[in-house]
Amino acid sequence: MDAWTNPGELSSGFGGIFAGRRVLLTGHTGFKGGWLALWLHALGAELRAVSLPPETSPSLFDLAGVADLCDSRFADINDAAALRAAVAGFAPELIVHMAAQAIVRDSYDTPVETFATNVVGTANVLEIARQSASVRGVVVVTSDKCYENNEWDWGYREVDPLGGSDPYSASKACTELVAQAYRRSYFSAPDAARLASVRAGNVIGGGDWAAHRLIPDIVRATAAGEDVTIRNPASVRPWQHVLEPLSGYLMIAARLLGDDRDAVSGAWNFGPDTESTVPVGEVCALFARLWGEGGPRFVMQSNPDAPHEAGLLRLDSTKARLHLGWRPRLGLADALALTTDWYRAQAGGADMRQITLDQIAAYAGLMQPRAVLPETDMLAG
């Protein structure tokens, strides 16, 4: 770890622009939100975070003590009054909206709740931004599944049509339309805030225990000594470690806080390289090899009666590469190595806040100019 960078030096990241800045984050009790809360705290942000209580036990929120690093408040974004009360008196300069119903299969069981959270909840958050004179920028986090999926071999670009064949995907397309409407109606005047929406692929990493997700399902079954049933082994997904898109979100956020806000208003893709867009079955095999002795045992069992999920979905991140200088730093093997290292450390009773911060610091080292990816075993610290 020392060969890369030190977690104590993270506050200088992104030009130090987050130090002392007031940031409102929604969804901090979730997987991605927990990682971002830790990174923003390390960058020196003054953070107020609003979310429902953690949905899983264990959770990254509890294991890493996220509540101790921010002004953490529980509120439902669907309840506009409760949301306003949770934010009252804070005057954020930046809002990062991550709270969502994020599971495709759950959306089939609770479609109304999915649309309420992902559409009306987003509008409630954007109303907070619209009515706050302090806000300079808003980042709305959606999903690669917001695109009308035609099972193309090539990646979707930010200008491609939105859509969705399932409640989750359709709700994310609607989230994008809500963000677009607010951007055009309220966040385009010279003195107004600016709004960006960000889209990522299938995100993996330590601290995710959500149901119906591949890596959490594998980790739970492995801990219980049970076989892991893989329902769609041939489905192709763009796999990326959680720190990859989060780095892009922070690049956007840094611009929104600076003098170049207009340049980042709009939609942005943050997807992995083509080499990391592979079938589910290949990810399973690599995960098992990295875990080693006592690792998962898989049963490949496609279910023709299962709810529809996309078979092939890729993102084109050319816009982020050209205009932000963003690019993936981790190949699939490295992303999975970080993930298996995290879960093995957690199973061994390690300090998971420190483990998580160490992985953030290691990744931040890769973001420096001319950084060279070290051997995979260095990712563990």
Q: Which domain holds residue 294?
A: 22-367
The bridge status of strand 194-200 relative to strand 277-279 is unpaired
- 232: domain CATH number is 3.40.50.720
pLDDT of the residue at 375: 45
Residue 2 within any structural domain of the chain: no
Q: Does the pLDDT of residue 311 top 90, yes or no? A: no
Of all residues in the chain, the percent with pLDDT exceeding 90 is: 72
Residue 376 within any structural domain of the chain: no
pLDDT band at 150 (very low <50, low <70, confident <90, very high): confident
Q: Does the pLDDT of residue 373 top 50, yes or no? A: no
DSSP H or E run through 47 = strand 46-51
pLDDT of the residue at 381: 36
Sign for the CA dihedral angle at 363, 330, 14, 197 comes to: negative
DSSP H or E run through 138 = strand 137-141
Least confident range of 127-141, 205-219, 224-238: 224-238
Tens of pLDDT, residue by residue over 198-224, are 999 889 999 999 988 899 999 999 989
Tens of pLDDT, residue by residue over 233-255, are 888 888 999 999 999 999 999 99
Residue 159 within any structural domain of the chain: yes
Token couple for 364: 């931040």
Q: Is the peptide bond before 272 cis (omega within 30 degrees of 0)?
A: no
Across 180-209, b (16+ Cβ under 10 Å) vs e yields: bebbeebbeeeebbbbbbbbbbbbbbbbbb
Residue 377 within any structural domain of the chain: no
What is the mean pLDDT of the segment spanning 43-51? 97
* Cα–chain center distance at 259: 25
| Backbone Cα Rg of the chain | 19
> Which of the given ranges, 108-117, 149-158, 297-306, has the highest pLDDT on average?
108-117
pLDDT band at 261 (very low <50, low <70, confident <90, very high): very high
DSSP H or E run through 336 = helix 332-347
The region that residue 74 occupies, defined by phi over 0 for left and psi between -120 and 50 for alpha, beta otherwise, is: beta
Average pLDDT, the chain: 89
Q: Does the pLDDT of residue 377 top 70, yes or no? A: no
Q: Does the pLDDT of residue 103 top 80, yes or no? A: no
Residue 107 within any structural domain of the chain: yes
pTM value is 0.91
Residue 1 within any structural domain of the chain: no
Contact of 66 with 83, CB cutoff 8 Å: no
pLDDT band at 6 (very low <50, low <70, confident <90, very high): very low
pLDDT of the residue at 362: 94
Q: Does the pLDDT of residue 231 top 50, yes or no? A: yes
Q: Does the pLDDT of residue 101 top 90, yes or no? A: no
Q: How many domains does the chain have?
A: 1
Tens of pLDDT, residue by residue over 71-82, are 999 999 999 999
Residue 373 within any structural domain of the chain: no
Q: Does the pLDDT of residue 20 top 50, yes or no? A: yes
Of all residues in the chain, the percent with pLDDT exceeding 70 is: 91
Tens of pLDDT, residue by residue over 160-194, are 999 988 998 999 999 999 999 999 999 999 999 99
Residue 256 within any structural domain of the chain: yes
pLDDT of the residue at 304: 56
